Structure 1
Amino acid sequence: MFLIWNLFLAVIPFLLTTYLKTRNLLENKFKNGLVILIWLLFLPNSFYIITDFVHLSLSNSYTFWYDLLLISSYASLGFLLGIISLKDIEELLSHKLNTSISSFLIFSISILSGFGIYLGRILRYNSWDILKNPIELFTDLWNIFFTTKSLGFSILYGCFIYFIFRISKYFLITINQ
């Protein structure tokens, strides 16, 4: 069931960017800004599913290959939805900003997603804890934000996300030519 729930959470950022692509971002700046903030809070869920491979350690020899295939399927789909959502945001940004600023923002968002994965996998927070347990969440954020472990994890996963994003863009450009 956790895979279904995690995939549902991974769909949310995709749906939000699909919605934003139909809007004029300058029309209702507050509403669109709120949608982007919610998108940013839920985006790490798309990439988080890849960490569900830790559950393979609970598999026995009979179910290992089934579990590997199942988790791989969900992780691939969630990651793909996240990459598509990032691509959509980059397109929206490129209409308003130059390419280097847009690329820097996408890289920063990737690092923030890595930090979101850290919050979920290591500290066991969920996206809705910002509303449900904000004081506990912000206290933990304050205590761990600049630790070597949190920074290393965030940068590693963020760079991985960004690397996959750039590779996928390269293949999409190559295929379209």
Structure 2
Amino acid sequence: MTTSIFLMFLIWNLFLAVIPFLLTSYLKTRNLFDNKFKNGIIVLTWLLFLPNSFYIITDFVHLSLSNSYTFWYDLLLISSYSTLGFLLGIISLQDFEKSISSKFSSLITSILLFSITILSGFGIYLGRILRYNSWDIFKNPIDLFTDLLNIFLTTKSLGFSILFGCFIYFIFQVSNYFTITINQ
């Protein structure tokens, strides 16, 4: 419609959001605590890619580049992709919760999930603010770890991570509430 490929990155970001969903979809068909090494690798990979699901919501920053003709089109397009990516992340968290809830108490499960959402907030910070990608842990580990040491405990990184992590956790809890309510 616009003859521009500017927002094509949304397709890539959505692909990255699908990865954690596929990993937890696989894990929910298995006992997470059988074959601990293999499933541990899958869970670590899931943790590495999970922030991508929620990251898409930050793509609204690109609306500032839209002109009056394309603004509404761009808004709908980014909204569609970010909603789908966020939903895939929430479903992935729910699947992970189901996988671990039989092994851990509800308190430990809640603490673990809250911690994962805060880590996802930090992952979003690494991607949006510092411009790192999930694969930079393998491709560019020295620069990544150097930057991590420099920014890990700054108020900016902590504030951003906690804000986004709490937002993700809130949406996760609301979706769980509605899922339980609907199923009753």
2:17 and 2:88 in contact (8 A); partners too: yes
Aligned pair partner of 2:158 in 151, 169, 173: 151
Deviation of 1:130 after TM superposition, in Å, equals 0.2
Work out the CA distance in 2 between the residues paired with 1:26 and 1:61: 53
Q: Which residue of 1 aligns with 2:171?
A: 164
Counterpart amino acid of residue 162 in structure 1: Y
Please tell me whether residue 132 in structure 1 is matched to residue 144 in structure 2. Answer: no
TM-score, normalised via structure 2 length: 0.95
Q: Output the CA distance in 2 between the equivalents of 1:89 and 1:30.
A: 17
Aligned to 2:60: 53
- Listed one character per residue, the Cα deviations across residues 131-171 of structure 1 (whole Å, up to 9, x for unaligned) are 00000000000000000000000000000000000000001
Task: Return 17-26 or 34-43, whichever deviates more.
Answer: 17-26
Which of 2, 11, 19 is 2:9 aligned to? 2
**Alignment of structure 1 residues 1-177 onto 2, 5 Å:** 1-177=8-184
User: Matched residues in 2 for 1:79 and 1:56: separation?
Assistant: 18
Aligned-pair CA distance for 1:2: 0.5
- The amino acid of 2:12's aligned partner reads W
1:65: how far off? Answer: 0.2
Percentage identity across aligned positions? Answer: 82
Q: Is the 8 A contact 2:32 2:100 kept in 1?
A: no
| SS of residue matched to 1:35 | helix
For 1:88, what is the secondary structure of its paired residue? Answer: helix
Q: Deviation digits for residues 113-135 of structure 1, max 9, x if unmatched?
A: 00000000000000000000000
Q: What is the alpha-carbon root mean square deviation over aligned residues?
A: 0.5
Q: What is the CA–CA distance in structure 2 between the aligned matches of 1:26 and 1:4, rounded to whole Å?
A: 34
CA–CA distance in structure 2, aligned partners of residues 159 and 26 of structure 1: 28
Counterpart contact for 2:136–2:144, Cα < 8 Å = yes
Q: Give 1:24 deviation, angstroms.
A: 2.0
User: Any gaps of 5 or more consecutive residues in structure 2?
Assistant: 1-7
Separation (CA, whole Å) in 2 of partners of 1:46 and 1:138: 23
2:48 and 2:66 map into 1 onto residues whose CA distance is: 31
Equivalent AA in structure 1 for residue 163 of structure 2:
L
TM-score by length of 1: 0.99
Cα separation, 2, equivalents of 1:119 and 1:26: 30
Alpha-carbon distance in 2 for matches of 1:165, 1:92: 16
Distance 1:160 1:106 in 2: 13
